[in-house]
Amino acid sequence: MKFFHGLLLALLPHICHCARKSTDVNFDEYQSKFLASPPLKLDDNSYEALTSSPRNYSLVVLLTALEARFGCQLCKEFQPEWEVLGKSWAKVSKNGQSRTLFGTVDFNDGKSTFQKLMLQTAPVLLLFPPTMGPDSKPDDQPIRYDFTAGPQSAEQIQHWIRRHLSSGPHIPIRRPLNYVRVVTMTTIVLGILTFLGVAYPYVGPFLQNRNLWAAISLLIILLFTSGHMFNHIRKVPYVAGDGKGGINYFAGGFSNQFGMETQIIAAIYGTLSFATIALALRVPRMTDPKRQQVAVIVWGSVMFGMYSFLLSVFKVKNGAYPFHLPPF
């Protein structure tokens, strides 16, 4: 017994060396295939070979079902991001310094694997950490990625892998250049520049008009001070019934508002603004005293009437408000 015990101790380093050598050969074989066409296309046999222990490398496997008859929309949406991740990893880790492989097992090529893992849905992303080395896991169980939030980007998957393989190198995501988008954007920009160059002599004086920008600014101010953003945020109704067969244009209370109410208030503010501008700027420049007197009466009456109506609207919003102006 002592003889066999001593023989076992003497052969143990050689056994470990042979096991390590076999894993190195296994990784080098698939690493060359991975660099040629990332990610690897795996079947039942290659999946078993790569996931068997011992491993001195990491393996990220996507189990998917891309054929149309399976109707896996999430598989199709995630596949381009998965290919971008695999190709980005292959470009940076050409010498195998990351000790990480990426593989895909389609249902048609790995039915036994799906049955063995008892998978009922796809896609499923599994990370097999190494069984030897700094990132090794003692239980040899794969880590599963959660797809409950829908299709994920290559950057999200890369961050997830980095969390579990902290000793590996940082792999930047390199997306292929979209030439169609580049040509389209270049054409659009050149078209806009050409149009501006041709139209500027005619449009320039119009765009430099101060009255134009003053009117645009006034319209924007009236739009937002009347509650336009409130309507979009709260999704308020345009009008509402009063329960008696009629229509309410104003909602009671300061926390409620109708779409029609916003337009009416904006029109009131706009009319008051134009009346103020006319009385302050236009009327003093009139040279005819009678016309000037008529203008003062007209614009003063408009301002008085609109402000009276505004007070009546405020009383609708706040029933306890005690003030009003005739004729409302």
Residue 154 lies in a domain: yes
Nearest to 124 by CA among 138, 140, 139, 110: 110
The bridge status of strand 40-42 relative to strand 100-106 is parallel
Residue 180 lies in a domain: no
The residue among 164, 193, 220 that closes a domain is 164
State the average pLDDT for the chain.
84
Q: How many domains does the chain have?
A: 2
Residue 228 lies in a domain: yes
Residue 15 has pLDDT above 60, yes or no: no
Q: What mean pLDDT comes out for the span 286-299?
A: 93
Judge if 107 and 223 occupy the same domain: no
The residue among 136, 164, 192 that closes a domain is 164
Which H/E stretch holds residue 280? none
Judge if 246 and 102 occupy the same domain: no
Judge if 43 and 156 occupy the same domain: yes
Per-residue pLDDT of 128-186, as tens digits, reads 988 887 777 777 788 999 887 777 888 889 888 888 887 666 677 888 787 888 899 99
Judge if 160 and 36 occupy the same domain: yes
pLDDT confidence of residue 321: 84
CB atoms within 10 A of CB 203: 12
Q: Which of 52-56, 153-157, 180-184, 302-306 bottoms out in mean pLDDT, i.e. has the lowest?
A: 52-56
Tallying the residues shown for the chain, one arrives at: 328
Q: What mean pLDDT comes out for the span 250-270?
A: 88
pLDDT confidence of residue 44: 92
The bridge status of strand 240-241 relative to strand 247-248 is antiparallel
Residue 20 has pLDDT above 70, yes or no: no
Residue 172 lies in a domain: no
- Provide the residue range defining the domain that includes 248: 209-317
Residue 108 lies in a domain: yes
Q: What mean pLDDT comes out for the span 27-41?
A: 84
Residue type, 132: M
Judge if 158 and 214 occupy the same domain: no
Judge if 218 and 310 occupy the same domain: yes
Residues 143, 125: Cα–Cα separation, whole Å:
8
pLDDT confidence of residue 168: 64
Whether 93 contacts 58, CB under 8 Å: no
Nearest to 268 by CA among 218, 305, 299, 315: 305
Judge if 152 and 9 occupy the same domain: yes
Residues 223, 221: Cα–Cα separation, whole Å:
5
pLDDT confidence of residue 19: 41
The residue among 164, 182, 198 that closes a domain is 164
Residues 18, 48: Cα–Cα separation, whole Å:
20
Residue 7 has pLDDT above 60, yes or no: no
Per-residue pLDDT of 76-122, as tens digits, reads 999 999 999 988 888 877 666 778 889 999 999 999 999 999 988 88
Output the DSSP codes for 117-174. Answer: HT--SS-EEEEE--SSSTT--TT-PPEEEP-TT-S--HHHHHHHHHHH-TTSPP----
Q: Give backbone dihedrals phi and psi of 101, rounded to 5 degrees, phi first.
A: -120, 150
Residue 1: pLDDT band (50, 70, 90) is very low
Residue 265 lies in a domain: yes
Residues 33, 47: Cα–Cα separation, whole Å:
14
Residue 322 is encoded by which pair of tokens?
């005690």
Chain centre to alpha carbon of residue 32: 36
CATH code (residue 132): 3.40.30.10
Judge if 133 and 226 occupy the same domain: no
What does each C-alpha distance from 202 to 189, 195, 198, 234, 265 come to in angstroms?
A: 20, 11, 8, 42, 37
Q: Which of 119-128, 172-181, 224-233 bottoms out in mean pLDDT, i.e. has the lowest?
A: 172-181
What does each C-alpha distance from 141 to 60, 136, 145, 289, 300 come to in angstroms?
A: 13, 11, 13, 96, 84
Judge if 13 and 146 occupy the same domain: yes
Residue 31 lies in a domain: yes
Residue 177 lies in a domain: no
pLDDT confidence of residue 169: 64
Whether 30 contacts 48, CB under 8 Å: no
Reply yes or no: is the peptide bond before residue 54 cis, omega within 30 of 0: yes
Residues 133, 72: Cα–Cα separation, whole Å:
37
Contacts of 230 (CB under 8 A, 6+ apart): 236, 257, 262
Residue 295 has pLDDT above 90, yes or no: yes
Judge if 232 and 157 occupy the same domain: no
Judge if 250 and 158 occupy the same domain: no
Residue 250 has pLDDT above 80, yes or no: yes
Whether 38 contacts 81, CB under 8 Å: no
Judge if 122 and 221 occupy the same domain: no
Residue 10 has pLDDT above 70, yes or no: no
